[in-house]
A and B are shown apart, each in its own frame.
Chain A
Amino acid sequence: MTRLPPTLQFDRVAREFAGGVRAVDGVTLSLAPGSLTAVIGPSGCGKTTLLRLAAGLDVPTAGRVEAEGASGSRSARSVCFQDPRLLPWRRVVDNVALPLELAGVPREQRQASALEVLRAAGLAHASRMLPAQLSGGMRMRVALARALVTQPQVLLLDEPCSAVDEFTRMQLDEEILRTFRACGATTMLVTHSVSEAVWLADRVIVMARGRVHADHAVRVQRDRRDRGDVGFLSEVEHCMRLLAAASGRDAA
């Protein structure tokens, strides 16, 4: 029996930085168990701050972020950052095993788990390599595998495709989808690509000036999404308009 992942709950969350800058300004959101929510918005809208608050890397100045229904262990949350953040002196398999190692999992067990996620990601051949021997896209895939190795219940993805070319991005999107399906975690994806957001997410949140500007449920079923399809393109266009309105509001 698989347990239902938690609801990721943001309750009037605010984060004010020194100098009175309100990066996040009263966000209330509820991310449904096992859903994939994309957060888009113009630069500086607070989307990355929101993710860092959810990860526990930052503390809100007001409000609460909670994973309701979670087992309570923080290791059940995984983060994949914009940059792969691999330890350059460690082989791929040991990088992937790092979160388990830090959690005190015995060596043989964590190596087996790491190899398993690498195999699922089609990276088994690279397991003995060092990060310097991999391409940028492959490093990102290793970072995704590392996020998956702890079998997280909450998965936080911070623009994981921002540093790669368009073709690699599409491959990575497939990989993100596979990762999401494999762990079934409640997932939050911060991205600046509207089409990526629509292609991956159940729901697209548009942020502006630290607030939720728009909240849109994607109307095309995930299995039927095709980047060339009219339905898909009209969804992208709709989100583009929301983003443009948010940017206008941002500039105002």
Chain B
Amino acid sequence: MNALARQVRAVVWPLVGVAIVLGAWQVGVLISGVAPYLLPPPTAIARAMWESRDMLASAMGRTALGATIGFACAAAGGILIGSVIALIPILRRSLYPLATVLQMVPVVAVAPLLQLWVDNGLPMAILSAAIVSLFPVLAATIDGQASVDPGLRELFQLSRASLLSRWWKLDLPWSVPATVTGLRIAAGLAVIGAVVGEFVSGYGGVRAPLGIVIQAAMRDARTDLVFAAVALTTVVGFALFGAVSLVGWLLVRRWHASAVNETEDRR
């Protein structure tokens, strides 16, 4: 009962915060008389969202597709490349700094270059999403696998375990909590990357993604629709983040300190 009440409170209070901000926004716009094309009130945004619901839903699906595929590629690639780099000390010393430097290059700046290599549209969104979300996964995987307890390494050394066997049975499971943290950061970035890819490639038509909807609505001075589309990009990001968090929790809930505190209490 108490636990239920705590969970309800955990949901209710953030909602109250959102309600306060939206209320202040609505009242502020009405009192100050700001033109709706500069700053539409929340009710106008909600109305725009409802009126264009079919188009927005399709756009959201399109953006979610690009972000999710890009994220999945980055997750798989990051864990794989990160594992190889972590296993081979020479690579760790030589490639890790390079990866850090490459991560500093803003995706917006290189996006036009990407157009040379892949088709506009969904491929651009996927590639752009994958590029921005790769580094957090890579870095977290390398750090996680490089920080394996040396005592446990010795255990495998005593049994003369092969490198691959040690990686599969020790390094990889040990690094799961760290990698999940990297994946959660990557989930949010993937949506940003996808929208940037959409901005640059500018594909449209009936299957326009949210990035294109935002650009088109800006040109038409439909600020309410811009806000509606922006709100939906955050929904996509939040959904991806939530899904990753859930999977991560399911993986480590039995044994990692971040999840087993309740079990510890029983001792």
Measuring CB to CB, which residues of chain A are less than 8 angstroms from any residue of chain B? Answer: 55-57, 74-75, 77-79, 81, 83, 85, 87-89, 98-99, 101-103, 130-133, 135
Contacts and interface: CB of A to CB of B under 8 A. Distances in A.
A87 B263 contact: no
B231 interface: no
B264 interface: yes
Q: In the complex, which range does the number of interface residues on chain B fall in?
A: 20 to 34
Contacts of B151: 81, 83, 85
B253 to A, nearest CB: 11
A87 B170 contact: yes
B52 interface: no
Contacts of A135: 267
A101 B169 CA distance: 10
Contact of B156 (A75, A89, A102, A132): A102
Nearest to A132: B260
B150 to A, nearest CB: 10
B259 to A, nearest CB: 10
A120 B126 CA distance: 57
Nearest to B156: A102
Nearest to A56: B158
Contact of B161 (A55, A83, A102): A102
A103 B255 CA distance: 25
A102 B160 contact: yes
B173 A98 contact: no
Interface of B is mostly: helix
Interface of B: 149, 151-152, 154-161, 165, 169-170, 173, 252, 254-256, 260, 263-264, 266-267
Nearest to B176: A89
A41 to B, nearest CB: 22
A99 B169 CA distance: 12
A101 B165 CA distance: 10
Contacts of A57: 154, 157-158
B165 A85 contact: no
A132 B261 CA distance: 9
A89 B154 contact: no
B254 A102 contact: no
Q: Chain B CB within 10 Å — which of A79, A88, A101, A135 has the most?
A: A88
A75 B173 contact: no
A132 B155 contact: no
Contact of A98 (B155, B254, B255, B264): B155
Given A98-B155, A133-B266, A135-B267, 9 more contacts: A74-B158, A75-B160, A79-B158, A89-B252, A99-B159, A102-B160, A130-B260, A131-B255, A132-B260
Contacts of A133: 263, 266-267
A98 B161 CA distance: 10
Q: Chain A CB within 10 Å — which of B155, B256, B264, B266 has the most?
A: B155
B158 A130 contact: no
Contact of A85 (B152, B160, B256, B260): B152
24 contacts: A57-B154, A57-B157, A74-B160, A75-B159, A85-B149, A85-B151, A85-B152, A85-B154, A87-B169, A87-B173, A88-B255, A88-B256, A89-B254, A89-B255, A89-B256, A98-B155, A99-B158, A99-B159, A102-B161, A130-B255, A132-B255, A132-B263, A132-B264, A135-B267
A167 B165 CA distance: 38
